[in-house]
Amino acid sequence: MSLESVIADLAVRAPDLAVIVTEASTATVDLAASVHGVAPGQIAKTLAIRVGDREFLLVTRGDARLSNAKAKQAFGGRPRMLGAEDVLRLTSHQVGGVCPFGLPSRIEVYCDVSLRIYTELIPAGGSTHASVRLPTERLVALCGGLWADACDIPGAAPEAASR
């Protein structure tokens, strides 16, 4: 059902975008990067987070890591990653296919500033074998245009990761 909800959502909000379904799994950043022939950073991973009583999504580049300090500053409290059951409840997507499309209800979706380095990104498409390739600014617009500085990039000084 999750793949179908993504297809239905994009048919309404972005009919020019296609969901790419592959035989090979795209359930992890490394698998998706290999399938699509891109760097792991170009895979847009979607994290389900709770801060206090608030639940939301954060889309970040595949090789970035959530920074507790940055996320606390960005979201006003200590971030907690949701478990698989809560991710499914919140998004209707199984872990490995979580994306900001086809959600069962309206929730806040933030895009991490680490995404800005890429002109094109590939988030999951609602299943462990589905993805969507789209321009970064289009992804941000479809997510609602909210930016956050909540992640660190491997090999980058903390100052460089927030640019």
pLDDT value at 162 more than 50:
no
Any idea what DSSP says for residue 114?
G
Other residues' Cβ atoms within 10 Å of the Cβ of residue 88:
16
Per-residue pLDDT reduced to its tens digit, 18-41: 999 999 999 999 999 999 999 999
Q: Convert the pLDDT of each residue in 81-98 to its tens digit.
A: 999 999 999 999 999 999
pLDDT averaged over the chain?
94
Q: Looking at residue 163, what is its pLDDT? A: 42
Domains of the chain, with CATH numbers?
A: 2-152 (3.90.960.10)
pLDDT of residue 155: 78
The H or E element spanning position 121 is strand 120-123
For 41-49, what is the mean pLDDT? Answer: 98
Mean local confidence (pLDDT), 111-121: 97
- The pLDDT value recorded for residue 157 is 62
Percent of the chain with pLDDT over 70: 94
- b vs e for 129-161, b when ≥16 Cβ sit within 10 Å of the residue's Cβ? bbbbbbebeebbebbeeeebbbbbbeeeeeeeb
* pLDDT over 50 (residue 150): yes
Per-residue pLDDT, averaged over 53-57, amounts to: 97
Burial class from Cβ neighbours inside 10 Å (0-12, 13-18, 19+) for residue 66 reads: middle
Residue 1 has a pLDDT of 61
pLDDT surpasses 70 at 160: no
Q: What is the pLDDT of residue 154?
A: 85
Which is more confident, 147 or 161? 147
Average pLDDT of the residues in 128-140: 98
